[in-house]
Structure 1
Amino acid sequence: MKFIFIDGYNVINSWSILKKEKEISLDSSRQKLIDILHNYGAIHQCKIMLVFDGYRVAGNLENKYEHNKNLTVVFTKSGETADAYIEREIHNIGRRFEVSVVTSDSLEQQTIFQRGATRVSSVEFYNMVFDTSEDIKRATSKMGQSHKSTVQDNIDEDVLRKLEAMRRG
């Protein structure tokens, strides 16, 4: 089982398509990221933990979770950063699973290495996600093309001539 922990706001601020969406609405940029990650997790059959910190949000007394098959969205409680949540969860998982953390935070990178996880920068992850997206588009476009096969395409020329002679009598 592979786990991918993602610092949500770090990714939103690193991906241009999400930054533009954020200018319209933070909620819509979060939702767009959730949709993208849901597809990615389903294709790669991994568990994704998308963490948004509640560090500066007053009133969140406990972590809030939204589960959807391969994707769990976490909104941390007030005063807790996404980094702190991710570090704690990686520590709890231990080295039993393959774990990657998506963040461009250099301090966080050092901590996750010590706990046995690998780091993927937000930009690297963007490329991974959209390479997968392009692969899917290519595969589905090939499936949509007709691959008709006629008897004539699969018969030897000699047999075809004999059949034609029989047809004409």
Structure 2
Amino acid sequence: MARTKKEYLFIDGYNITNQWKTLRNYTDSIENSRNKLIEGLIEYKAYRGINVIVVFDAHLVKGSNEKKEIIAGVEVVYTKEHETADSYIEREVTRLGRDEIVQVATSDNAIQEIVIARGGTRLSAEEMFQEISRTKQEIKRKTDSNNNNNTKLANMLDNKTLEKLEKIRRMID
């Protein structure tokens, strides 16, 4: 039996936060930009069901060690000193190879070329923004549809009451 490939989406964190206008609005704090990006990715991951890893550079932080945390299912990685997000992503794409489905969201041309050469696909920052926006619209449509279905009288009454109403309807017809 063939093994199902896992799907991974790597996000070049600071590349994306610097490209998206909606995240650049948080100029008061880089932490706020990171958190807003992660919030959007949590919703995206939950809906799409893929592994989402967002990588932030910490290569200029003296003495920093690689740090990983899971926030509502999204893996957040801060690279170690002297390691860029690009090199971390490149290493992981190489590790996963062609055995898994790998996408990388970045507008960095060099990492895009590496990803494609290693069998992955790339999304520019703009394409990732559009993908997140489409996903939010799909979620809204589904929840609106579900809310409309749940407000129908038939969905609010028990079966006994529905049967009585059906008998009354038949008597009137």
TM-score by length of 2: 0.83
- 1:102: Cα distance to partner? 0.4
1:19 aligned residue (8, 24, 30): 24
- 1:68: Cα distance to partner? 3.6
- 1:67: Cα distance to partner? 1.7
2:90 aligned residue (87, 90, 99): 87
Q: Which amino acid aligns with 2:85?
A: A
Quick one: distance in 2 between partners of 1:93 and 1:15?
28
- 1:34: Cα distance to partner? 0.9
1:1-169 residue pairs with structure 2 within 5 A? Answer: 1-21=6-26, 23-60=27-64, 62-68=65-71, 70-145=73-148, 146-149=151-154, 163-164=171-172
Q: Contact 1:45/1:70 (CA < 8 Å) preserved in 2?
A: no
Residues 1:5 and 1:75: Cα distance change in structure 2 (over 3 Å): same
Q: Contact 1:67/1:73 (CA < 8 Å) preserved in 2?
A: yes
Who wins on radius of gyration, i.e. which is larger?
1
Which consecutive residues of structure 1, in runs of 5 or more, have no partner in the other structure? Answer: none
Q: Where has structure 1 moved over 4 Å in runs of 4 or more?
A: none
Quick one: distance in 2 between partners of 1:15 and 1:69?
22
- 1:59: Cα distance to partner? 2.1
Aligned length: 159
Quick one: distance in 1 between partners of 2:116 and 2:91?
13
Q: Contact 1:46/1:70 (CA < 8 Å) preserved in 2?
A: no
**CA RMSD after TM alignment:** 2.2
Quick one: distance in 1 between partners of 2:22 and 2:84?
24
- 1:148: Cα distance to partner? 2.5
- 1:147: Cα distance to partner? 2.1
Q: Contact 1:104/1:121 (CA < 8 Å) preserved in 2?
A: yes
SS at match of 2:76: strand
Quick one: distance in 2 between partners of 1:107 and 1:39?
29
Cα deviations by residue, 1:54-85 (Å, 9 ceiling, x for unpaired): 1222220x210002463110000111110000
Cα deviations by residue, 1:74-121 (Å, 9 ceiling, x for unpaired): 000111110000000111111111000000001111111111110011
